[in-house]
Chain A
């Protein structure tokens, strides 16, 4: 890969991490990687800002709620000082904004590899059931809820999930619990929320990459081995289950998905029933497992953004394990000062830096 500058968002690497640091580590996993990687952060305290072994520089960008004009202006300013070749957005809440400005970014010479607005909206949690029905994919019964009254009138059995449109889900066992969950999620993420049927079974997650023409460039399925309190994967292992790959390929084909995605499936292996739970329109935080198993999907995305011809990956290593760990990163007062005052931090000579 020629020497390029790649900007990555979602470098909030807490116990509920964004995907950014996993994407960056994947890119640097290739020993031949040459170039700069810059982090685009929403908060000065995002840990990725201080990972000087991985990130050449990081810049603070405005929150998605500030709109596309403010975002575009911030990216322009960063691009003027630190020219970006490829930008990889990685958070659900920001993606629509980046999709809307992708043409403008392209005119500035910043390549992205994002889904179209229509495909992005079709996999949204509140219309997922409709999409699945028309494409022969089994999905748990799901209803949009706009008020506590809607919960009262739900024609569903408990337990069930109350979910935020972008993040978070609570398993609730009664109307009272559901009302409490409604209050918490509504305050945190706004409306609508979703009520989803509880499906007993094992959860599997698949990281994949679509080429935008219906082809799946790669797909790696994973079973979570240990979870955080927020039910996020703290360890996982690649598995071999052809049904999961076929379902993922079907989704990519149906949506003509362009870019990365994470597919969440609940399976009852005894009855061989598979239910699609969610399609997340971005790399998952555990995406570093994919290059470890032989499919460097973030690198493939960069190559596709640069309009290189990419052949689909064939196979991956089954039984490849990842285990997360928490680690203290040291920084100086001047680092946090730079981030807070200037909105940027230039790090010293990370790996792969050649200039």
Chain B
């Protein structure tokens, strides 16, 4: 995952998010806020997953599914890109 676009967004501790590039506004819950902070710190997906399991005391398989859905939502809103691999 490429988290570059997330670095530009403004995140308040209430979960209110403003994307200054296009004016989009979102709201996330505390779990989303936690994940976004980890993404902004450019942690690896594996590290984010481990942190999610530890923080919210969930099964890894459940956490993996939730994280996947969250990343898809971020991609849908243009806040996250899949890493382009050059072969």
Contacts and interface: CB of A to CB of B under 8 A. Distances in A.
B partners with A:
yes
Interface of A: 202, 204, 222-223, 225, 236-237, 239-241, 267, 269-270, 318-319
Report the contact-size class of chain B (Cβ under 8 Å from the partner).
under 10
10 contacts: A202-B22, A204-B22, A225-B23, A239-B23, A267-B22, A269-B21, A269-B22, A318-B20, A319-B18, A319-B20
Contacts of A318: 20
Contacts of B23: 222-223, 225, 236-237, 239
Contact of A269 (B18, B20, B78): B78
B1 interface: no
Interface string B1-42: 000000010100000001011110000000000000000000
Nearest to A237: B23
Contact of B21 (A222, A225, A240): A240
B53 to A, nearest CB: 32
A239 B21 contact: yes
B78 A270 contact: yes
Interface of B: 8, 10, 18, 20-23, 78
Contacts of A202: 22
Nearest to B81: A270
Nearest to A224: B23
A111 B83 CA distance: 56
Given A223-B23, A319-B10, 19 more contacts: A202-B22, A222-B23, A225-B23, A236-B23, A239-B20, A239-B21, A239-B22, A239-B23, A240-B8, A240-B21, A241-B20, A241-B21, A241-B22, A267-B22, A269-B22, A270-B78, A318-B20, A319-B18, A319-B20
A241 B21 CA distance: 5
Closest 6 CB pairs of A and B: A223-B23, A240-B20, A237-B23, A239-B23, A318-B20, A241-B21
Nearest to B10: A319
Contacts of B22: 202, 204, 223, 239, 241, 267, 269
